[in-house]
């Protein structure tokens, strides 16, 4: 599955060699849209950063092309911290997913360049290897509990040690996390959002039955995870977390929306099921209260949506003080560039928990030659300099941008809900 990236290590350069002479955005849709920032230095060293924000891709592409790239030309690619501060403080308008995804792309590309200049894999620059490979979880799903249990069995056969399980909900046609696709679950499939119907009572009664069955069929050893996808109120989330306790989940994800962080206190008061959240967060300020009050166990905020390596490293360090571990978002809408960089981070970060791993389609993997591979339940980043992911631009051109948005959910009476 892994292919060698084409660009090789360059000798460490002078300030002049590190000067950024070109920066441009590549948008491609090999099955789904990806936005990639490509930065090149005078010495010809190229770095890539992922800038994909699912369903809002062109906003980041424009932010980069119109507002960031003109500031990059002529800068020293080695000044990673200063460049981060320049785009964060210098923009005056702080934070938000579009801004922080754009900053992340720049940051990831600069770390890639500097690691290539040093002739080292990126994890080495962060402080070196802390583990042999990153424990990952795959996504098993099915329309019914029977089908979901069979899907979990197939993941076990492939060597997964941790598996997220999502099942269809009785009475509902289609809901988050359940796929009939061959590869990974890919919900952003139409130009305008598909509409789905949601029922909390049905979900709350069927989900504990799903995990009771999974423990019966698959035993105690396998790690099981579940994503609520922000669809419960705080007290409903508390009830689900309590009802799932006997099945000892690795984590329950996004049990309730996190804008109101005190909501997580309600869940904690009722249950010891570990809680993960933060894939939609974009800065350390979104994470601070949940971490400091010890309301979560895993922080999901990942490189592409939260300012890149420079910023997420600060989040991980804050989390470490409270024994909160990382569990990076790794859905297929994050490109292989993000996955490559995330795996170097996972290989180093002392408070690593787990990495989400949805397999990209063969078309996507061909556009992004990458140096990482799955072995025995873990992803292993390679030893090539940088983050190990490149782009085949000729192939990328064959897949032009195609507008796609995520689905929405409404209650049975038509009220807008969280999908």
> What is the closest distance, in whole angstroms, from the C-beta atom of residue 87 to Mg ion in the complex?
27
- Taking CB under 6 A as the criterion, which residues in 241-300 touch ligand GCO? 279
> What is the closest distance, in whole angstroms, from the C-beta atom of residue 374 to ligand GCO in the complex?
17
Q: Which is nearer to ligand GCO, 132 or 259 (CB)?
A: 259
Distances 391 to 49, 308, 395 between C-alpha atoms, Å: 11, 19, 9
Q: Which of 337, 311, 240, 354 is nearest to 87 (CA)?
A: 311
Told to judge if 298 belongs to the known catalytic residues of this protein, a careful annotator would answer: no
Q: Which is nearer to Mg ion, 166 or 390 (CB)?
A: 166
Nearest residue by C-beta to Mg ion?
227
Candidate list 17, 50, 57, 227; residue touching Mg ion; CB under 5 A: 227
Candidate list 120, 143, 172, 331; residue touching ligand GCO; CB under 6 A: 331
How many angstroms separate the CA atoms of 58 and 75, rounded?
Answer: 25
Which range in 125-133, 137-145, 209-217, 224-232 contacts Mg ion by CB under 5 A? 224-232
Classified as helix, coil or strand, 111 is helix
How many angstroms separate the CA atoms of 1 and 393, rounded?
Answer: 20
227 binds ligand GCO (CB under 6 A): yes
Candidate list 95, 229, 231, 404; residue touching ligand GCO; CB under 6 A: 229
Q: Which is nearer to Mg ion, 116 or 300 (CB)?
A: 300
Q: Which of 116, 101, 86, 99 is nearest to 18 (CA)?
A: 116
Cα dihedral 242, 246, 251, 255, rounded to 10, equals: -20
> What is the closest distance, in whole angstroms, from the C-beta atom of residue 331 to ligand GCO in the complex?
3
What are the phi and psi torsion angles at 226 (to 5°)? -150, 140
Q: Which is nearer to Mg ion, 57 or 227 (CB)?
A: 227
Residues facing residue 393 across a β-bridge = none
356 binds Mg ion (CB under 5 A): no
17 binds ligand GCO (CB under 6 A): no
> What is the closest distance, in whole angstroms, from the C-beta atom of residue 189 to ligand GCO in the complex?
12
Told to judge if 229 belongs to the known catalytic residues of this protein, a careful annotator would answer: yes
> What is the closest distance, in whole angstroms, from the C-beta atom of residue 392 to Mg ion in the complex?
29
Q: Which of 248, 234, 233, 250 is nearest to 198 (CA)?
A: 233
Size of the site for Mg ion (CB under 5 A): 2
Size of the site for ligand GCO (CB under 6 A): 9
- Annotated active-site residue in 176, 203, 247, 399: 176
Distance of CA 348 to the CA centre of its chain: 17
In the stretch 6-25, what mask flags binding to Mg ion with x, by CB under 5 A? --------------------
What are the phi and psi torsion angles at 354 (to 5°)? -160, 165
Distance of CA 93 to the CA centre of its chain: 24
> What is the closest distance, in whole angstroms, from the C-beta atom of residue 417 to Mg ion in the complex?
16
356 binds ligand GCO (CB under 6 A): yes
- Taking CB under 5 A as the criterion, which residues in 274-303 touch Mg ion? 279
Q: Which is nearer to ligand GCO, 58 or 406 (CB)?
A: 406
Is-contact 314 287, C-beta < 8 A?
no
> What is the closest distance, in whole angstroms, from the C-beta atom of residue 176 to Mg ion in the complex?
9
How many angstroms separate the CA atoms of 272 and 262, rounded?
Answer: 17
Q: Which is nearer to ligand GCO, 113 or 343 (CB)?
A: 343
Give residue 190's region: left, alpha or beta (phi > 0; psi -120 to 50). beta
Provide the sign of the torsion angle of the four alpha carbons 260, 298, 150, 331, taken in this order.
positive
What are the phi and psi torsion angles at 28 (to 5°)? -145, 155
- Taking CB under 5 A as the criterion, which residues in 63-102 touch Mg ion? none
Q: Which of 147, 146, 70, 68 is nearest to 308 (CA)?
A: 68
How many angstroms separate the CA atoms of 62 and 42, rounded?
Answer: 24
- Annotated active-site residue in 63, 88, 226, 229: 229
Residue 301: contacted member of Mg ion, ligand GCO, none (CB under 5 to 8 Å, by partner type): none
**Which residues have a catalytic role annotated?**
176, 229
Q: For binding to ligand GCO (CB under 6 A), which residues are involved?
A: 54, 227, 229, 279, 329, 331, 333, 356, 406
Q: For binding to Mg ion (CB under 5 A), which residues are involved?
A: 227, 279
């Amino acid at each position: 599955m892994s292919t060698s990236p084409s660009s090789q290590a360059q000798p460490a350069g002078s300030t002049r060699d590190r000067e950024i002479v070109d920066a441009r955005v590549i948008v491609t849709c090999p099955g789904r849209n990806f936005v990639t920032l490509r930065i090149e230095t005078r010495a010809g060293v190229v770095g890539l950063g992922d800038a994909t924000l699912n369903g809002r891709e062109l906003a980041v592409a424009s932010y980069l092309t119109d507002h960031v790239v003109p500031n990059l030309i002529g800068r020293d690619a080695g000044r990673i911290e200063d460049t981060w501060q320049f785009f964060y403080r210098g923009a005056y308008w702080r934070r938000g997913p579009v801004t922080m995804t754009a900053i992340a792309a720049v940051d990831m590309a600069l770390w890639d360049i500097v690691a290539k200049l040093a002739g080292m894999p990126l994890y080495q620059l962060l402080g070196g290897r802390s583990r042999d490979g990153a424990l990952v979880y795959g996504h098993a799903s099915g329309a019914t509990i029977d089908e979901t249990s069979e899907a979990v069995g197939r993941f076990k056969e492939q060597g997964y040690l941790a598996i997220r399980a999502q099942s269809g909900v009785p009475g509902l046609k289609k809901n988050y996390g359940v796929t009939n696709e061959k590869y990974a679950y890919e919900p952003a499939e139409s130009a305008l959002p598909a509409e789905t119907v949601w029922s909390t009572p049905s979900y709350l009664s069927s989900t504990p039955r799903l995990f009771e069955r999974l423990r019966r069929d698959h035993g105690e050893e396998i790690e099981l995870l579940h994503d609520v996808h922000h669809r419960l109120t705080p007290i409903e989330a508390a009830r689900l977390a309590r009802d799932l306790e006997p099945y000892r989940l690795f984590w329950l994800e996004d049990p309730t929306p996190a804008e109101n962080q005190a909501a997580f206190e309600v869940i904690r008061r009722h249950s010891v099921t570990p809680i993960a959240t933060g894939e939609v967060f974009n800065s350390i300020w979104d994470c601070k209260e949940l971490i400091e009050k010890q309301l979560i166990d895993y922080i999901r905020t990942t490189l592409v949506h939260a300012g890149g390596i420079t910023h997420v490293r600060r989040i991980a360090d804050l989390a470490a003080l409270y024994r909160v571990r990382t569990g990076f978002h790794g859905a297929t809408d994050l490109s292989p560039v993000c996955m490559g960089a995330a795996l170097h981070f996972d290989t180093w970060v002392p408070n690593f928990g787990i990495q989400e791993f949805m397999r990209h389609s063969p078309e996507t993997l061909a556009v992004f030659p990458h140096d990482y591979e799955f072995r025995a339940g873990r992803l292993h980043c390679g030893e090539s300099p940088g983050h190990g992911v490149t782009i085949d631009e000729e192939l990328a051109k064959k897949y032009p941008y195609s507008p796609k948005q995520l689905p929405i959910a409404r209650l049975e009476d038509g009220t807008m809900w969280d999908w």
